[in-house]
Amino acid sequence: MTDFVLSEPGNLRLPRRLLDLIPGILLLVAIGYLGKLTEQSLSAYGKAHALALPNIEYVLWAILFGLVIANTVGVPKIFRAGVATYEFWLKAGIVLLGVRFLLGDVLKLGGVSLALVAIELAVAIAFMSVLGRAFKLRPKLTSLLAVGSSICGVSAIIAAQGAIEADDEDASLAIAAILALGAVSLFLFPLIGHGLGLRDHAFGLWAGLAVDNTAEATAAGALYSDAAGKFAVLAKTARNATIGFVVLGYAIYWASQGAAKRVENKAAFLWQKFPKFVLGFLAISLLATAGLFRGDQIASLANLSRWAFLLTFAGVGLRTDLREMRKQGARPFIVGALGEVVVAVITLGLVIGADALIGL
Amino acid sequence: MTDATPSGEPAPRRLLGIDGWAVLSALILAALVWADLLPAIRW
């Protein structure tokens, strides 16, 4: 996976690096906007001709257009640096989305999410370890898959790879498996949610807890409804916040096996692995709760957040290269997929239980 | 991040990372909206 290069050290000067990002960003804008236009035009066409066309969200169009491009003509090199900025738009969008949450709600739902995350983590990690052994995967690959499926996909795997000194091959296998599974869940979850008649809050929480990768979880929520998208982001953000603890746990385990460096300063380690955008999200939510923004300003910020997510969804499609994933072999996928199904079923039970108990 | 590279040169320091840039940009946008310097953004 190419990293977002704005802050990467390199020989190129900053203006040149920013210039390199422009073609890819324009591609994200074009695909995202095309998705939005397609949704609007189809619904206008349906209305004008009194046709009952299925209402397909811009989220799905943007992802599909990206997928088609990535898997037919491929993404030419000139666009790649800019396309990799999708993660930046995702995080900026999440921070801006903070404006739609009162801090009290964040603490309440974030707290519920964290409690559910703790259960989910324990189950996912235990189950993945058993599966990894049954399928004779390399132990560190199993650790990476467990981290990826229990917390947050790619960024968790990258954080864990460094900490447990896993090799690049294991990391790319785990990333490919998690990305493929994320792509599948993104389409499956909304279908299951509608089938079960889940309410927006419950579905959002479920998607945030069970779909891997923040971008895919956000997209799955947004596909369901605007409100579900908002709650998916909150639950996923709470899940992301636990990344440092889990990675630290694995680092300590592998160090005790003599297969990784010891972690000297645990507080510094936790801070280093903590996703800092969570703080930005809390800060904006705090400002909104303090009444700093007027109603129309809140609406503008929420719209800015939607525009940022639009670029993210285009990027999700563009970076999903199914051909590349097929090359990686079936076993990591099977282990990942089985783990994923268990996580999805358990979190669904937890969310329905929590909804019945405390009313989400 | 300040570790020396094998050649003995200090590795370049990572300034903000994606998270930092994203938070900074979002806060700047929020400040612009708050100061009514960005016209209402429509969706």
Tens digits of residue pLDDT in A255-285: 888 888 888 888 998 888 888 999 999 999 9
Tens digits of residue pLDDT in A296-328: 999 999 999 999 999 999 998 898 887 777 777
Q: Which of A99-108, A192-201, A273-282, B11-20 has the lowest mean pLDDT?
A: B11-20
Tens digits of residue pLDDT in A8-19: 555 667 788 889
> CA A229, CA A221: separation in Å to the nearest integer?
4
pLDDT band at B1; cut points 50, 70, 90: very low
> CA A360, CA A147: separation in Å to the nearest integer?
27
ipTM of the complex, rounded to two decimals? 0.81
Q: How many CA atoms lie within 13 A of B4 on its CB side?
A: 4
Q: Chain B partners of A300 at a C-beta cutoff of 8 Å?
A: 33, 38, 40-41
Whole-prediction pTM value?
A: 0.85
Amino acid at A350: L
pLDDT for A52 beyond 90: no
The whole-angstrom distance between B15's CA and the closest CA on chain A is: 6
pLDDT for A341 beyond 80: yes
> CA A262, CA A29: separation in Å to the nearest integer?
44
Instruction: Determine whether the interchain pair A88/B26 forms a contact, defined as Cβ–Cβ distance below 8 Å.
Output: no
Residue with tokens 């016209």: B39
Q: Chain A partners of B20 at a C-beta cutoff of 8 Å?
A: 7, 276
Q: Which residue of chain B comes nearest to A303, CA vs CA? A: B43
Tens digits of residue pLDDT in A109-145: 888 888 888 888 888 888 888 888 898 888 888 888 8
Q: Chain B partners of A96 at a C-beta cutoff of 8 Å?
A: 26, 29-30
Q: How far is CA A62 from CA A36, A65, A177, A223, B22, in A?
A: 8, 5, 22, 11, 22
pLDDT band at A358; cut points 50, 70, 90: confident
Helix (H, G, I), strand (E, B) or coil at A14: helix
Instruction: Determine whether the interchain pair A280/B43 forms a contact, defined as Cβ–Cβ distance below 8 Å.
Output: no
Q: Between A352 and A57, whose confidence is greater? A: A352
Q: Chain B partners of A301 at a C-beta cutoff of 8 Å?
A: 29-30, 33, 41
Contact A330, A337 (CB under 8 A): no
